Structure 1
């Protein structure tokens, strides 16, 4: 019984430290530039108030990365990971045409 408990504790510590390291890796990930080809294709703006409403008619004021279902940061984070921009962070106040309101 002791060995299985010890194995569990060692495994738990390893998983927790891996999670902490991956969270730090996300925090250190580069931020998406509006000049990035994917950003341009999706109409990404780091500041949603600067979205070209004529070009992106589906944009509605109030839509921001922080309230998009794809945003993987906390709502209070200034930047967070987004699967649309693999390995990069988007501004929580940003917007792109892949926007999908969180449920």
Structure 2
């Protein structure tokens, strides 16, 4: 192997070694949070990631996908909340983004204890 071939190989190995820890750290962080790789239909794949009612944040704000199942909702629902912005439809239901659940979507008919009247 000549000097040029050695340097080329050496720099390739060093470049991969410099970038690899970022990928390993990201995968480790996802695993630690209990997440899996983005599946087809997720936000990374162009779909919408819906809030899981069993998620810790959702439980903390008493999120339900049907406001009729929460007596404290008193007829209020996500689509009448100031934190909600309609983004489209998913499985025949109105969905939108919510500032409470950053990066995820909620059902327009849902409700949570953070409901705030739209201005």
TM over 0.5: yes
Higher-RCO chain (CA-CA 8 Å, sequence separation at least 6) = 1
CA distance change for structure 1 residues 80 and 91 in 2, over 3 Å: closer, same or farther? Answer: same
Q: Which runs of 5+ in 2 are unaligned?
A: 1-42
Q: Where does structure 1 differ by over 3 angstroms across 4 or more consecutive aligned residues?
A: 74-77
Give the whole-Å Cα distance in 1 for the aligned partners of 2:107 and 2:86.
10
Q: Over alpha carbons, which structure has the higher Rg? A: 2
RMSD: 2.3
Compute the displacement of 1:64 (Å). 0.6
Q: Is the 8 A contact 2:94 2:108 kept in 1?
A: yes
TM-score by length of 1: 0.62
Higher strand share: 2
Q: Which runs of 5+ in 1 are unaligned?
A: 1-24
TM-score by length of 2: 0.54
The number of aligned residues is 73
